[in-house]
Amino acid sequence: MTPLVHRLKPYLRWAILGGTLFFIAQTLRDHWRDVTAIQVTAQTWACLICALGVTLLAHIWSGWVWHWILQSFSQPLSGTWAVQVYLKTNIAKYLPGNVWHFYGRVRAVQATGASAGIALFSVLMEPLLMAAAAISLAAVSSSQIGGLQLWVLTVTLVGVHPRLFNPVLRRLGRIKAKAQKLAEIEPTVQLRHYPLKPLLGELGFVILRGTGFLLTVAGLLGITWEQVLPLLSAFSLAWLLGLVVPGAPGGIGVFEATAIALLDDQFSAGLVLSSVALYRLISTLAEVGGAGLVWLDQRLSRR
User: Model confidence over 66-79: pLDDT tens digits?
Assistant: 999 999 998 989 99
Is 32 within a domain? no
Which range has the worst mean pLDDT, 10-14, 50-54, 176-180? Answer: 10-14
- What is the per-residue pLDDT for 248? 59
- What is the per-residue pLDDT for 111? 92
Query: What percentage of residues in the chain have a pLDDT greater than 70?
Result: 83
Is 267 within a domain? yes
Residue type, 67: H
The count of residues in the chain is 303
Is 250 a residue whose pLDDT tops 70? no
Domain containing residue 237: 40-298
Is 33 within a domain? no
Under DSSP, is residue 113 helix (H, G, I), strand (E, B) or coil? Answer: coil
Is 24 within a domain? no
Please state, in angstroms and rounded to a whole number, the distance separating the CA atoms of residues 125 and 128.
5
φ, ψ for residue 80, nearest 5 deg: -65, -45
- What is the per-residue pLDDT for 283? 87
Specify the number of domains making up the chain: 1
Is 2 a residue whose pLDDT tops 50? no
Is 5 a residue whose pLDDT tops 50? no
**Better-scored residue on pLDDT, 97 or 91:** 91
Is 1 a residue whose pLDDT tops 50? no
Contact 247, 17 (CB under 8 A): yes
Contacts of 264 (CB under 8 A, 6+ apart): 272
Query: What percentage of residues in the chain have a pLDDT greater than 90?
Result: 41
Which range has the worst mean pLDDT, 58-67, 70-79, 137-146, 201-210? Answer: 137-146
Instruction: Give mean pLDDT, residues 152-181.
Output: 89
Is 175 a residue whose pLDDT tops 80? yes
> What are all long-range contacts of 42-45, with beta carbons under 8 Å and residues at least 24 apart?
43/219, 44/219, 44/220, 45/219
Please state, in angstroms and rounded to a whole number, the distance separating the CA atoms of residues 238 and 234.
6
Please state, in angstroms and rounded to a whole number, the distance separating the CA atoms of residues 56 and 62.
10
Compute the mean pLDDT over every residue in the chain, rounded to the nearest whole number.
83
Is 11 a residue whose pLDDT tops 60? no
Is 13 within a domain? no
- What is the per-residue pLDDT for 85? 94
* Chain Cα centroid distance, residue 8: 25
Is 35 a residue whose pLDDT tops 70? no
Which range has the worst mean pLDDT, 19-28, 90-99, 233-242, 258-267? Answer: 19-28
**Better-scored residue on pLDDT, 81 or 270:** 81
With cut-offs at 50, 70 and 90, classify the pLDDT of residue 215: very high
Is 166 within a domain? yes
User: Model confidence over 37-52: pLDDT tens digits?
Assistant: 566 788 888 999 999 9
**Better-scored residue on pLDDT, 156 or 276:** 156
Closest alpha carbon to 16 in 283, 233, 245: 245
Under DSSP, is residue 73 helix (H, G, I), strand (E, B) or coil? Answer: coil
- What is the per-residue pLDDT for 18? 59
Instruction: Give mean pLDDT, residues 158-175.
Output: 91
Contacts of 137 (CB under 8 A, 6+ apart): 203, 206, 207, 210, 232, 233, 236
Is 8 within a domain? no
Is 303 within a domain? no
Under DSSP, is residue 253 helix (H, G, I), strand (E, B) or coil? Answer: coil
Please state, in angstroms and rounded to a whole number, the distance separating the CA atoms of residues 244 and 16.
12
